[in-house]
Structures are given as C-alpha cells and as structure tokens.
Amino acid sequence: DQQVKQNSPSLSVQEGRISILNCDYTNSMFDYFLWYKKYPAEGPTFLISISSIKDKNEDGRFTVFLNKSAKHLSLHIVPSQPGDSAVYFCAAKPTGGGNKLTFGTGTQLKVEL
C-alpha cells in the first residue's frame, strides 16, 4: 500500500514556465515532508522540506505548499530551467518515527527549451 503517491509519472514544461509537481499521502501521522531530486546514475539529493506546522516553504525558485486537510503537497519551480530536468521524489516522515522516510514513486520532469 503506497502511503505516499505521486500520480504523475512524468511532466513536460517549457523553459521559463512554472513546473508543478504533486504528491498525496494517506498517513495522517506524517508531520514532515521532503522533496528529493535525482539525476540519472546518481543518488537522490535533498531539495526542500516543510513541517506540518507550516503551509508554505520557499527557497529561491523552489516553493513547497502543504494542504494538510487534503493530505496533499506540491512543489513549484519558477522559472523552470533545463537543469531542473530530473526525477523528483516526495517523501514523508511520521511523528515519532525517527528519521525513517517513506518515498513516493517519483515524477520525471523534463524542461524543454
């Protein structure tokens, strides 16, 4: 049973436009959420995170929004750049769960010129 779901396996966006990657979760015990980015032949790298006490966290071109009532989060990339082309994984951590993360299946983002 996938507790963290990324329903869009791929997304294609033009350079300069906004990329929106979505993630849904089912476990109400999750209280901390992260996005990781993965390039081919490399391991995932941390991108941005958000605690459940917030509904928005911004870091440069990257913003994560959290809607707790809908159990939904999204990652916005503005403006999108060709170097942003990668697989993006959403991950979640439960309250009191140490540092155990549950990951989604990932979304392949392609930013086209």
Partner 1 sequence: DAGVIQSPRHEVTEMGQEVTLRCKPISGHNSLFWYRQTMMRGLELLIYFNNNVPIDDSGMPEDRFSAKMPNASFSTLKIQPSEPRDSAVYFCASSPGTGLETQYFGPGTRLLVL
Q: Which residues would be at the binding site for partner 1 (CB under 8 A)?
A: 2, 6, 32, 34, 36, 41-46, 49, 89, 91, 93, 98-106
CB of 14 to partner 1, least distance (A): 26
Nearer to partner 1, 42 or 70 (CB): 42
> Please, what is the minimum distance in Å from the beta carbon of residue 17 to partner 1?
26
Cβ closest to partner 1, residue 34 vs residue 75: 34
Cα gap 93→78, rounded to integer Å: 26
Burial zone of 22 (CB within 10 Å; 0-12 exposed, 13-18 middle, 19+ buried) = middle
Tokens 């392609």, residue? Answer: 110
Q: Check: CB of residue 29 under 8 Å from CB of residue 95.
A: yes
